[in-house]
Amino acid sequence: MAPGARQKYEYWRLLMIYFDFAATTPLDSEAAEVFVQASTEFYGNSSSLHDIGGQSQDLLENCREELANLLGVNKKGLYFTSGGSEGNFLAIEALLSAPKKVGKHIIAGLAEHSSIHGVLNRLEGYNITFLPLNSSGLINVEELEQAIIPETVLVTIQHVNSEIGTVQPIEKIARICKERDIHFHSDIVQSFGKIELAKIAQLVSSFAFSGHKIYGPKGVGGVYIDPAISWRAFFPGGSHERGLRPGTVNVPAIAAMTAAAQKVNEHIVENHTRFLKIRAILMESLHPIKEFVHVYEADPGSQLPSIIGLRISGIEGQWMMLECNRHGFAISTGSACQIGMQSPAKVTQALGLSPQEAKEFIRISFGKTTNREDVIKLGETIVDIVKKFKR
């Protein structure tokens, strides 16, 4: 990095306070060390037959076993990918290649990640039912049951919504799918490392996760597909990851992600408790403008406390985001993948918001460096911005 660029980077790093952990997280220092070590000492292609390749393969399989143990699944069904988006794509294609019964009907959440909508939109000959969210940001299980027809072969519902942090009733949905011989896929990108997943992971046909949401590297993730399912590969002739995908396996990134997952998993309960307190502090700091603030959330038992999705009446979210940025706070207007397409977050449509209300949506999300003082500063800044705007 050039000296001028480094100075500018250091300036913004010290000036900006980050509240966009749901989009991505900084690489954990210990995970970074693992990445460097694996890159320099285990650099062989894990598919090569010589000893150097064998060392890389041993590290890869050790990571697979460690992550499978964390998730409570059979390691034979765990595959490494370039991230959650690719994992969602490969999982859905795999499940549709081996349906439990004949049919061309799929049920999905309207607020699913853009990668889910992307793969569903490219399917030909399928009838897809999209389910909205209720006022608490949750899928109505009764509506889901009513949407099932004899030809329903797949249900795909994310575990935690990335914009508002609501936790969907995966156990109930999984039970319904099992009774009706329907494959069930869940995107667990936002819950991985934040919620105990061992029980839920065993109930679904497949799930996808990502490394950069848990202080691991970008460009790496994984997908689990029940080993009992005899899927066919979407990419023909692939020799890596038992034929699921082509391309040399990124062993250093996988090792770093595994290290990050092990570390964050040790603090799930502690972090949950801390985020509950921080969330309450932010809500209290916004009290002076409470008549303008609309928070979209579920009861505490169905809510990830580290994600707050809200809108402020009369103020566009993009303008609020830019104003916060000007004052040194990094917030967002929703999923970074959706923002890239310059369209409102899918959750706003799923919640039934009007086009104007959807434009007012913003997201604030916490991470391991978030502290009480910074949250209070953010709350006070938002209050000042709103008061000046309304004046």
Among all residues, which ones are annotated catalytic? 337
3-state secondary structure of 100: coil
Q: Which residues contact 376 (CB under 8 A, 6 or more apart)?
A: 281, 285
SS3 221: strand
Q: Strand, helix or coil at 219?
A: coil
Amino acid symbol at 149 = I
DSSP letters along 121-189, please?
Answer: HH-SS-EEEEE-B-TTS-B-HHHHHHH--TTEEEEE--SB-TTT-BBP-HHHHHHHHHHTT-EEEEE-T
> How many angstroms separate the CA atoms of 330 and 17, rounded?
6
d(CA 391, CA 388): 5
Say how far residue 232 (Cα) sits from the centre of its chain: 26
Closest among 211, 208, 160 to 185, alpha carbons compared: 208
* DSSP per-residue string spanning 370-391: --HHHHHHHHHHHHHHHHHHH-
Q: What distance in Å separates the CA atoms of residue 136 and residue 367, rounded to the nearest whole number?
A: 23
Would the CA dihedral through 22, 329, 362, 379 be positive or negative?
positive
Distance CA 351, CA 374 (A): 30
> What DSSP designation does 81 have?
E
Q: How far apart are CA 317 and CA 167, in angstroms?
A: 24
Rounded to 5 degrees, what are φ and ψ at 31? -65, -35
Cβ atoms of residues 183 and 99 within 8 Å: yes
